[in-house]
Structure 1
Amino acid sequence: MNAPSPFRAALLDGVPHGFFGRGGGASTGVHAGLNVGLGSADDTATVLANRAAALAAVAPGACLLTPYQVHSATCITVDAPFAERPEADALVTDRPGLAIGVVTADCAPVLLADRDAGVVGAAHAGWKGALSGVTDAVVAAMVARGAQAGRIVAAVGPCIARASYEVDDAFRQRFDAADAANERFFVDARTGHHRFDLEGYVVHRLAAAGVTRVAALGLDTYADEDRFFSYRRATHRGEPGYGRQIAIIAPSG
């Protein structure tokens, strides 16, 4: 297995973290590379080995915890390893020895940290979770553990970019109904369709929650096949499956 090399955000320097693509790993076929999706059709032992390799590149020796993601706004604060993954789309911890992560395949992974409080968070922000407030929930959970919103720094990792994300009128209307100002995250495409800026919307929601220092990595999972898995790309091609990438963060203490 080739060792995976994560993408990092300068805002999170000093905090163990990494956003991974498909580089490295031992999976083959449509899952080729560092597939970490426990829900994929890939070999489970291979997926677990890929997850272990990603963890070793970020927080060697830590225990990796990831939720069973359901496109919700649910955030859970964790103090110890869990035997069964809870249904949630964000995790928060301040416990040394734990690493938390989320998996994605076009949705936006968000990693957050308050260095002074020693609190970190990880959120899976697909359009449903982002619209319903998953970033608000993770910030609130971090504050409940002693963080201050104004001290939190965050990074939005590889996700589908606006140029690749075509949606229909019904999709846009959900965002317009929530806030008319959301129109700025859409540009017109063909008749009845638009292109949606998921990354920009997530950055906006973080800022609205008080997180003013946010790095957006600007990496398009759909367009960059060599580096990233993409659910939408696999669907458009009629492929039988797709891999998932992972984002991991751990307290620095």
Structure 2
Amino acid sequence: MTRRGGVSTGPVASLNCGFGADDDRAAVAENRRIAAGAVLPGATLVGVHQVHSADVATVGDPWDETGKPKADALVTDRPGVLLGILTADCAPILLADPEAGVIGAAHAGWRGAHGGVIGNTVAAMEMLGASRDRIGAAVGPCIAQESYEVGPDFRAQFTDGDARFFMAGEQGHWQFDLPGYVLHRLTEAGLQRIEALHRDTYAEPDTFFSFRRSTHLGEPTYGRLLSLIGLRA
């Protein structure tokens, strides 16, 4: 989903789907209803309390908004369930093995991708009967390398083997290639069918929300994009 087509106003206009933003809860609920209805009408939308971890939740009986676990990915084999991931510069990843009837959704910021959320999501899908040689993955809009300046403490989290994902920037700083790194981790997990949208959330203010852009502009809050995948009942 983009930021368009919702009912929110102000800095989070218009399709803000995150309750964590400084937004009217009724507006957020309506935006989520609009988004879910556009993808899989009548399905139950399920999310997690995202904490930039490598943890994956398996969805059996859907939980409500107040009972969601702390995790950064979800998997399910239940028809009529719509998995939702919120992002605002991090990479949303949607995964599916249509033959097995197993789907997954992951929130991959640098910390989660580095920590193993992608591989853990694939493994959790396999536990439900998926096969990694059949799983297809789509990487949605996220912050691009040109917009993602990082400092030496960030660079120190990665090994020399990851040097290709860093481009020299201002003195003592680098530009980090998050989408490239996410694609690398998907390939490393054994997936072969991978597509990426290659849209920069930071550089397209009319289309996407961006935490970093909102911070740089001194805005009081920032909206969240919602990425969705579901199985028809």
Q: Give TM-score, length-normalised by structure 2.
A: 0.98
Q: Which residue in 2 is equivalent to 1:62?
A: 43
In structure 2, the partner of 1:240 is: 220
Deviations 1:143-184 (A, max 9, x none): 1100000100001001000010000111111012xxx22101
- 1:81 deviates by 1.2
The answer to whether residue 164 in structure 2 is matched with residue 184 in structure 1 is: yes
The AA in structure 2 aligned to 1:222 is Y
Counterpart residue type for residue 186 of structure 1: F
Deviations 1:86-140 (A, max 9, x none): 1000000010111101000000000000010000000000111111011011100
1:121 paired residue number: 104
**Contact kept? 1:150, 1:211, Cα under 8 Å:** yes
Aligned with 1:104 (options 80, 84, 87): 87
Inter-partner Cα distance in structure 1 for 2:138 and 2:155: 25
- In the superposition, the TM-score normalised over structure 1's length comes to 0.90
Structure 1 unmatched ranges of 5 or more: 1-19
Matched, 1:150 2:133: yes
Q: Percent identity?
A: 56
Matched, 1:251 2:231: yes
Deviation at 1:252, TM superposition (A): 4.2
1:81 and 2:62 are equivalent in the alignment: yes
Instruction: Report if the CA contact (8 A) 2:40-2:232 is conserved.
Output: no
Show structure 1 runs of 4+ deviating over 4 A. none
Q: How does 1:191-210 map to 2 (within 5 A)?
A: 191-210=171-190
After superposition, where does 1:19-38 map in structure 2 within 5 Å? 20-38=1-19
Q: For each residue in 1:57-111, what CA deviation from the matched residue of structure 2 results, as whole angstroms up to 9, or x when unmatched? A: 0000000001000000000110111131110000000101111010000000000
User: Does the CA-based 8 Å contact 2:80-2:232 persist in structure 1?
Assistant: no
2:80 and 2:61 mapped to 1: Cα distance? Answer: 9
Q: Secondary structure at the match of 2:156?
A: helix
Aligned pair count?
231
Who is 1:39 aligned against?
20
Structure 2 residues without counterparts, runs of 5 or longer: none
The Cα RMSD (Å) is 0.8
Q: Whole-Å Cα distance in 2 between the matches of residues 41 and 228 of structure 1?
A: 17
1-structure distance, mates of 2:158, 2:192: 22
1:173-225 per-residue CA deviation (whole Å, 9 max, x = no partner) reads 1012xxx2210111000111000110110111011111111101001000000
Q: Is the 8 A contact 1:89 1:124 kept in 2?
A: yes
C-alpha distance in structure 2 between counterparts of 1:219 and 1:202, whole Å? 14
- For 1:158 and 1:99, how far apart are their aligned partners in 2? 19
Q: Which residue of 2 aligns with 1:12?
A: none
